[in-house]
């Protein structure tokens, strides 16, 4: 039953409303695996933050999903560290403030990023590392936007979080929507052939579990929906929280990653479209919880 439930979540959050081209590459089953891993985790690092070159500020996709996932993990008793960079830290703080999250938030510097990431693994000793809408480096060492813009001259390289985790046998989970995010190396061949600028932008790092979403925020929500069934409680935030997080991010300089404007949209999609996915997940959770109750 859990498998069927997770597949419904994957299909809902994987709707390619923005036409990114990854809908056919859904890794069905990876959400269930990620949920199981995180439910049994102890300490989780979540890395997020995607800077938009034209504005030099973070985008609205990523911080919301990160806060959502962090809140869900904290509710089930896990320790959480959020990692980001200088361009997105205010956005992350804004979202965490709305959801009343109290956890460590680290800012990776550009210079010495690799050593910094390695030190975080050593200090926090995570059992799992999650990358949610975080730029990954491609085969040529560059980090790119979906348009093929080179971002590597100012975005810290946080791939070492995955490198060090994998070296130590720590499970890695990635959430993305474009092919240029950490973890997307798991489907590199598909991205190279099927996504615009795919050969250039495809991230090289792979992940144990890859969750492909129409919007990366939805992937964070999807994991929380999965965790909800494990504890027989709806852990997902409400509609007004989602609206408030967007509003607060805009106040501190956040922009839509596609339109590059300070507006309450995500990846060029309206607020209502994003709320429809959130509400769809709430419906799936409540429906499944009722089914579980009737069976027991």
The answer to whether residue 18 scores a pLDDT higher than 80 is: no
- Which pLDDT tens digit goes with each residue over 205-260? 999 999 999 999 999 999 999 999 999 999 999 999 999 999 999 999 999 999 99
Do residues 184 and 204 lie in contact, with contact meaning Cβ atoms separated by under 8 Å? no
The answer to whether residue 296 scores a pLDDT higher than 70 is: no
| Closest to 196 (Cα-Cα) out of 161, 231, 145 | 145
Looking at residue 148, its pLDDT comes to 95
The two tokens of residue 209 are 């579990």
* Mean pLDDT for the stretch of residues 77-106: 98
* Mean pLDDT for the stretch of residues 136-142: 96
Nearest-10 Cα torsion for 160, 166, 170, 173: 80
Do residues 46 and 254 lie in contact, with contact meaning Cβ atoms separated by under 8 Å? no
* Mean pLDDT for the stretch of residues 270-280: 97
Distances (CA, A) of 152 to 40, 53, 74, 92, 116: 35, 10, 33, 21, 17
* Mean pLDDT for the stretch of residues 99-110: 97
CA atoms in the 13 A half-sphere facing the CB of 185:
19
Q: What's the chain's Rg over C-alpha atoms?
A: 17
The two tokens of residue 150 are 């080179």
**Count H helices, E strands: the chain?**
11, 8
| Closest to 56 (Cα-Cα) out of 147, 132, 155, 136 | 155
Do residues 130 and 173 lie in contact, with contact meaning Cβ atoms separated by under 8 Å? yes
Per the structure, the complete domain to which residue 254 belongs is given by 2-295
The answer to whether residue 49 scores a pLDDT higher than 80 is: yes
* Mean pLDDT for the stretch of residues 91-101: 98
Strand partners of residue 206: 184
Q: What is the mean pLDDT of the chain?
A: 95
In this structure, the strands spanning 79-84 and 209-212 are unpaired
Looking at residue 241, its pLDDT comes to 98
Confidence category of residue 92, pLDDT binned at 50, 70, 90: very high
The answer to whether residue 24 scores a pLDDT higher than 90 is: no
Strand partners of residue 82: 46, 105
Q: Rounded to 5 degrees, what are φ and ψ at 284?
A: -65, -45
Confidence category of residue 144, pLDDT binned at 50, 70, 90: very high
End-to-end CA distance of the chain: 13
The answer to whether residue 89 scores a pLDDT higher than 80 is: yes
Looking at residue 295, its pLDDT comes to 74
* Mean pLDDT for the stretch of residues 170-181: 97
Do residues 99 and 63 lie in contact, with contact meaning Cβ atoms separated by under 8 Å? no
* Mean pLDDT for the stretch of residues 110-119: 98
Confidence category of residue 28, pLDDT binned at 50, 70, 90: confident
The answer to whether residue 3 scores a pLDDT higher than 80 is: no
Count of other CB atoms within 10 angstroms of residue 52: 21
Confidence category of residue 19, pLDDT binned at 50, 70, 90: confident
Percent of the chain with pLDDT over 70: 99
2-11, 22-31, 171-180, 253-262: range with lowest mean pLDDT = 22-31
State how many domains the chain has: 1
Q: Which residues contact 111 (CB under 8 A, 6 or more apart)?
A: none
Looking at residue 1, its pLDDT comes to 53
pTM (predicted TM-score): 0.97
* CATH value at residue 196: 3.90.1640.20
């Amino acid at each position: 039953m859990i498998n069927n439930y997770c597949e419904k979540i994957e299909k809902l959050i994987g709707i390619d409303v923005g036409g990114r081209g990854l809908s056919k590459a859904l890794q069905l089953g990876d959400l269930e695996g990620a949920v199981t891993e995180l439910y049994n985790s102890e300490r989780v690092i979540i890395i997020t933050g995607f800077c938009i070159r034209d504005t030099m500020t973070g985008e609205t996709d990523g911080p919301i999903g990160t806060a959502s996932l962090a809140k869900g993990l904290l509710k089930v008793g896990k320790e959480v560290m959020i990692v980001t960079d200088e361009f997105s830290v205010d956005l992350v703080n804004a979202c965490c403030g709305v959801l009343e999250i109290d956890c460590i938030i680290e800012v990776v510097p550009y210079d010495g990023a690799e050593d910094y990431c390695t030190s975080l693994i050593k200090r926090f000793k995570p059992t799992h590392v999650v990358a949610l809408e975080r730029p990954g480096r491609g085969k040529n060492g560059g980090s790119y936007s979906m348009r093929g813009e080179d971002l590597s001259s100012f975005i810290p390289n946080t791939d070492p979080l995955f490198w060090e985790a994998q070296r130590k046998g720590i499970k890695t989970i990635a959430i993305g929507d474009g092919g240029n995010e950490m973890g997307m190396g798991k489907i590199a061949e598909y991205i190279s052939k099927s996504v615009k600028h795919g050969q250039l932008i495809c991230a090289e790092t792979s992940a144990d579990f890859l969750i492909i979403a129409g919007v990366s925020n939805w992937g964070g929500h999807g994991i929380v929906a999965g965790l909800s069934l494990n504890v027989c409680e709806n852990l997902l935030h409400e509609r007004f929280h989602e609206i408030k997080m967007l509003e607060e991010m805009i106040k501190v300089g956040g922009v839509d990653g596609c339109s590059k404007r300070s507006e309450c949209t995500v990846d060029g999609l309206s607020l209502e479209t994003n709320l429809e996915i959130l509400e769809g997940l709430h419906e799936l959770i409540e429906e499944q919880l009722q089914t579980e109750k009737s069976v027991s």
